[in-house]
Amino acid sequence: MEQLTPILDNASYDSFFRFSQHDKLISDAERLSLLEHLMGTLELQAFGHALLSQLSARVQISGIAISGPSATALWGTDATYRKRISIKGFADTAVSYYFTKVPDALENKLLDELHQLLEPLTKNALEHEKIRCLASKDSLTGLGNRAAFNDVLARQFSVSRRTGATFGLLMIDMDKFKAINDQFGHQEGDKVLVAMAQAISASLRDTDFAFRFGGDEFCCIIEDADTVALRRIGQRIRRTMLDHAILSRHQMRCSIGSSLYTSGDEPASLFERADRQLYQDKHSHHPLSRTA
C-alpha cells in the first residue's frame, strides 16, 4: 500500500486503556494449543503461513509482515491500518499486523497477548532462516552456493511446469583462471573470483539469481527469459568485466553458455544445451570492445 496509517505500539494502548496484568484474554488451554500448532514449524515461510492462520482465527487481521534490516516477508495482504511490534533482541526487526478497520481496545489487547506468547517461536523461525541463508551462501563471493542453486532450479522447474513460464540458465566459466593462481597466488585468485561475482551481480536484474557453482564456474537463473534477454545479460557481464579494476588488470575473460526452459525439459537437458554452447563459446574469440 502506498499509504499506511500506523497504529500506536502496544505500550501506548496498555497505558491508555489501563488493562491489568491479570486481565488475560487467552486461557491456558488455548495458549497450549497455539504453541502446539506452531512450535514444530521452523522454516520461516511455513511459520508465517501457520502464524497468520492461527491469529486470523482469533483477531480480524488481513495479513502479517516480518521485516528485518535487509528484507520483508508478507503473508496474507497488507491493509490500511497496521500495528507494528518490535522483536526483542533482534535489531531493526518487527512484526506488522494489518487490519482493514481500526481495531478496538479488546482486539489490541488480544493481539498484544498473542504476540508476546508467540514471540519466542518467531525468534526461532528468524534464527533458523538466518542459519539457512548462511548455509546457502558461498563463503567467499556471497553468491548462492550449489545447494541454493539446486533449490532455486527445482522451484523454477515446478513453477514453469505448472504455469508454462519460461526461464533461462546461464553457465559462466572464467578463461585461464588457473594461470592467476599459478602466477600470483591463491589470495589474488580469491580477489579475482570476488570481482567476478560482483560483475555478474551488477549485470543481473533484481528478479534473477546468481550462484558460484564451484571453482571458477558460475551459474545464473534468469526469470521470464528469452534468447534476447540471455544474450543481453551475457553482453553486460563481459562489458562489466572490462570496467572492473581487478578483472581488467588481469585481462580476465569468460565463456558463457545459455539455454531456455522448454516444455518437457529436465535439469539434465537444460544443462546439456547450456554446456554445449559454453564449449563452443570457449573455443571462439570474444570481442573485447565495450560495445560488444
pLDDT of residue 194: 97
Q: What's the CA gap between 94 and 85, in Å, rounded? A: 5
285 or 63, greater pLDDT: 63
d(CA 273, CA 227): 13
Q: Look at residues 246, 234, 233, 240 and name the one whose alpha carbon lies nearest to residue 206.
A: 233
- Is residue 271 in a domain? yes
Residue numbers of the domain that contains 26 = 5-135
Question: Is residue 202 one of the residues assigned to a domain?
Answer: yes
Q: How far apart are CA 172 and CA 213, in angstroms?
A: 9
How high is the pLDDT of residue 21?
46
Confidence of residue 285 (pLDDT cuts 50, 70, 90): low
Q: Which of 107-121, 131-145, 227-241 has the lowest mean pLDDT?
A: 131-145
Q: Which of 135, 159, 181 is the last residue of a domain?
A: 135
116 assigned to some structural domain? yes
Residue 290 forms part of a structural domain:
no
Residue 176 near residue 184 (C-beta atoms within 8 A): no
Is pLDDT at 109 greater than 50 in this prediction?
Answer: yes
Note the pLDDT of residue 118: 94
Contacts of 154 (CB under 8 A, 6+ apart): none
What single DSSP character describes residue 72?
E
pLDDT-derived band at 10 (thresholds 50, 70, 90) equals very low
CA distance 10 to 21: 13
- The last residue of a domain, from among 101, 135, 169: 135
Alpha carbon distance 222, 177 (integer Å): 25
Q: Are residues 154 and 272 in the same domain?
A: yes
Q: Band of the pLDDT at 128, cuts 50, 70, 90?
A: confident
- Among candidate residues 135, 165, 180, the one where a domain is terminated: 135
State pLDDT tens for residues 244-276: 999 999 999 999 999 999 999 999 999 999 999
Q: pTM of whole model > 0.85? A: no
CA distance 139 to 183: 24
**Structure confidence at residue 131 (pLDDT):** 81
Query: What type of residue is 139?
Result: S
Split at pLDDT 50, 70, 90, the class of 11 is very low
pLDDT value for 22: 53
Terminal C-alpha separation, the chain:
41
What is the rounded average pLDDT of the residues 108-137? 89
For residue 46, give the C-alpha cell. 511455513
How many distinct structural domains can be found in the chain? 2
Cβ(143)–Cβ(212) below 8 Å: yes
Which DSSP category does 84 fall into?
Answer: E
On whether both 172 and 256 belong to a single domain, the answer is yes
3-state helix, strand, coil in the chain (%, to 5): 50, 20, 30
Question: Is the confidence at residue 8, as pLDDT, over 80?
Answer: no
Q: What is the pLDDT of residue 93?
A: 92
Supply the angle between the helices 10-17 and 105-135 in degrees, to the nearest 10: 160
Q: On the CB side of 113, how many CA atoms lie within 13 Å of its CA?
A: 21
Output the CA–CA distances (angstroms, integers) from residue 128 to 73, 95, 134, 218, 256, in the order listed.
Answer: 15, 17, 10, 27, 35
Q: How many residues does the structure list for the chain?
A: 292
82 or 42: which leads in pLDDT:
82
In a domain, 140, yes or no: no
For residue 214, what pLDDT is reported?
87
Residue range 14-72, pLDDT digits in tens: 433 343 445 688 899 999 999 998 988 888 889 999 999 999 999 999 999 999 887 78
Q: Is the pLDDT of residue 292 over 80?
A: no
Q: Does residue 190 surpass a pLDDT of 70?
A: yes
